[in-house]
Chains A and B, each alone.
Chain A
Amino acid sequence: MSSISELYDVSWEEMRDKLRKWREENYRNSEQIVDVGEELINEHASKLGDDIWIIYEQVMIAALDCSRDDLAWSCLQELKRQFPDSHRVKRLAGMRLEALERYEDANKLYDSILQDDPTNTAARKRKISILRAQGKSSEAIRELNEYLEQFVGDQEAWHELSELYINEHDYAKAAFCLEELMMTNPHNHLYCEQYAEVKYTQGGLENLELARKYFAQALKLNNRNMRALFGLYMSASHIAASPKVSAKVKKDNVKYAAWATSQISRAYQMAGRGKKENKCSVKAVEEMLESMQITMS
């Protein structure tokens, strides 16, 4: 089997830089990280300098994701040797136990970290992840709520909590978490759009109007967010079709829906240009928009 550097004609520096990019942007492309990282470690360790330790950590986590316990183990050994008393390395050992589904042993490890350092957020979050992996959603939710009372600025935790609530169909609480996230990240179109989806799901005229507003906001922040565009179209259509709205509200929403329709058509026309393979999806959208127009008028 040829090496990554041969297959893709890249230098070891480029491989190292790619790993850094994936690390900084928090990508979870574990198979790629394992491929690139393993080769880097095996062939070019001496050139990496102090970078090698963070690369060991990154590759180890990716290896756990791909069930490569052999690779994870060897990375862990290197890290243990270099940083014998580190909590950070202990947490990695815990993650390996989690991957092996040895949850009790993992919990013991995390508890020992917390005994030493009660403010260690990483260990606390791992314990919550274990609850999630075991399907103990209500406990995970409870623990995460307690965690957030102390660490109210932890974005990742708020998002995790919103996901848990969505899975449990507790849309009101999911909306609350997303409101927190929107407040601290007003330019993030994804949070706006997710919030709108939750409101739409809750249903009822008021929620639909809120949904429409937040889909529109998401589009303002990123005019290529297709979910927001479709969401705007659907919420405006539903409001316009409701018997409970005034003539003015109906007229306004028909306008919003029409605008969304034209944007969607344009986007699909551009997407369909020259690409024979997505003709089917383009045709489906066109017909859907046409048919929904008819039911609305």
Chain B
Amino acid sequence: MHEDDSGVTKKRTLQLPSMSVPLSSHEMGEVELSCLAYAKMYLHASQFPRCSVNGLLLSSSAAGGAVCITDCVPLLHTHLSLAPITQLALTQVDVWCSQTQQRIVGYYQANACASDSSPTPCALKIAEKIFEQCNNAVLLMIDGEKMFPGCRVPPIVMYERKDARWALKDKHTIMLRQWEETCSIVNQLFSSGDQALLVDFDSHLDDITKDWTNQKLNAKIMELVSPANGNV
């Protein structure tokens, strides 16, 4: 994971995400994960510690070049491998994305069994579906064993499509800007109790007055994200 101390990264910090164009072919296959996306994934996994959870990774940037994951939609915490609700959720998120100029660029999952962060058949299946529409889609597994306070490494394992299979991504192509700040934002959400605001699609179906697009929580997180860096 890059931290913001290399010359190249500093330069790109001043660019708006939607203008990020690879500076060389060497940068193809790069994935950027925003604080907003990371925070909500983390909160989702924390809200249901005894369940496997999953969700979709979204991008508001144009296709081509690096994949910028700017947001995520938490989906399920029950029966991940059953079809109807997954299909329903995928369709609704698709619709919402076209209404909001976003694209589905990936899938994340956290397994109930924290010691096993390998992708399940269900994860591979959904990632495959996303890959059909997005040729640099990513599959992100959350590593439960690294989700403890004070852990210095992001609890993330990423896979990309290579030679007809999902292969582990080179860590150096994954960028999490302002990692320390992101951690501090997540901690603040927990101490203020705002982590309870997170709604996933499952919870929405239990009570449809709850908003699975998480507008309220998004606003809180964006307030906490430092405006000086100009990132999303």
Query: Chain A interface (Cβ within 8 Å of chain B)?
Result: 133, 135, 166-167, 169, 194, 196-198, 200-201, 203, 211, 226-227, 230-231, 234-235, 267-268, 271, 275, 277-278, 280-281, 283-285, 287-288, 291-292
A231-B84, A234-B84 known; A135 vs B208 contact (CB < 8 Å): no
Find chain B residues with CB under 8 A from A267 CB.
Answer: 208
Q: A167-B81, A234-B87, A284-B95 are in contact. Are A133 and B113 (CB under 8 A)?
A: yes
Q: How far is the CB of A206 from chain B (nearest CB, A)?
A: 16
Expressed in whole angstroms, the Cα–Cα distance for A211 and B210 within the complex equals: 27
Query: With contacts A166-B81, A201-B84, A227-B205 known, is A280 near B95, CB below 8 A?
Result: no
For chain B, the count of residues having a C-beta within 8 Å of the partner chain is 31
Whether B83 sits at the interface, judged by CB under 8 Å, is yes
The distance in angstroms between the C-alpha atoms of A251 and B163, with both chains bound, is 45
User: Interface with A: B53-61, B63-71, B168-176, B212-220, which one?
Assistant: B212-220
A281 to B216, CA, bound (A): 13
Give the dominant DSSP class at B's interface.
helix
- In the complex, which residues of chain B have a beta carbon less than 8 angstroms from the beta carbon of A169? 81, 121-122
On B, residues with C-beta under 8 Å from A are 79, 81-85, 87-88, 91-93, 95-96, 99-100, 113, 115-116, 121-122, 204-206, 208-213, 215-216
B223 to chain A, nearest CB (A): 16
- 28 A/B residue pairs, CB under 8 Å, sorted by A: A133-B113, A135-B115, A135-B116, A166-B82, A167-B81, A196-B84, A197-B79, A197-B82, A197-B84, A198-B82, A200-B82, A200-B84, A230-B85, A230-B88, A234-B84, A235-B84, A271-B208, A278-B208, A278-B209, A278-B210, A280-B213, A281-B208, A281-B211, A283-B96, A284-B95, A284-B99, A287-B99, A291-B95
Chain B: which residue is nearest A66 at the CB level? B49
Q: Inside 8 A of A277's CB, which chain B residues have their CB?
A: 211, 215-216
Q: Contact at B205–A226, with CB atoms within 8 Å?
A: yes
- List, in ascending order, chain B residues with CB within 8 A of A234's CB: 84, 87-88
**Are B84 and A230 in touch, CB under 8 angstroms?**
yes
Known contacts A277-B216, A287-B95, A268 near B84 by CB under 8 Å: no
Residues of A within 8 A of B88 (CB): 230, 234
Contacts of B212 in A (CB 8 A): 281
In Å, the complex CA distance between A146 and B93 comes to: 43
Contact A280 B82 (CB under 8 A): no
* Partner pick for A284 among B87, B92, B216, CB 8 A cutoff: B92
- Chain B residues closer than 8 Å to A235, beta-carbon distance: 84
- In Å, the complex CA distance between A33 and B205 comes to 26
Q: Please, which residues of chain B bring their CB within 8 A of the CB of A278? A: 208-211
Q: Which A residues touch B115, using CB under 8 A? A: 135
Complex Cα distance A284/B99, Å? Answer: 8
Known: A230-B84, A234-B84. A268 touches B113 (CB 8 A): no
With contact pairs A197-B82, A285-B92, A288-B95 given, residues A280 and B215 touching in the complex (Cβ less than 8 Å): yes
A268 to B210, CA, bound (A): 11
Q: Which of B85, B113, B116 contacts A227 (CB 8 A)?
A: B85
- Chain A residues with CB under 8 Å of B206's CB are 226
CB closest chain-B residue, reference A268 = B208
C-alpha gap A288/B201 in the complex (Å): 15
Kindly list chain A residues whose C-beta atoms are within 8 Å of the C-beta of B211: 277-278, 280-281
CA distance A215 to B151 in the complex (A): 45
**Docked complex Cα distance between A166 and B83 (Å):** 11
A233–B156 Cα distance when bound, in Å, is 37
**Cα–Cα distance between A235 and B85 once the two chains are bound (Å):** 12
| A residues near B84, Cβ cutoff 8 Å | 196-197, 200-201, 211, 227, 230-231, 234-235
**Chain B residue contacts of A281, Cβ below 8 A:** 92, 96, 204, 208, 211-213
With both beta carbons as reference points, the residue of chain A lying nearest to B205 in the complex is identified as A226
Q: How far is the CA of A166 from the CA of B215 in the complex (A)?
A: 33
With the chains together, A208 CA to B82 CA distance in Å? 13
What are the 5 tightest A-B residue pairs by CB atom distance, in nearest-first order?
A201-B83, A278-B211, A280-B213, A284-B96, A271-B208
- A278-B208 Cα distance, complex, nearest whole Å: 8
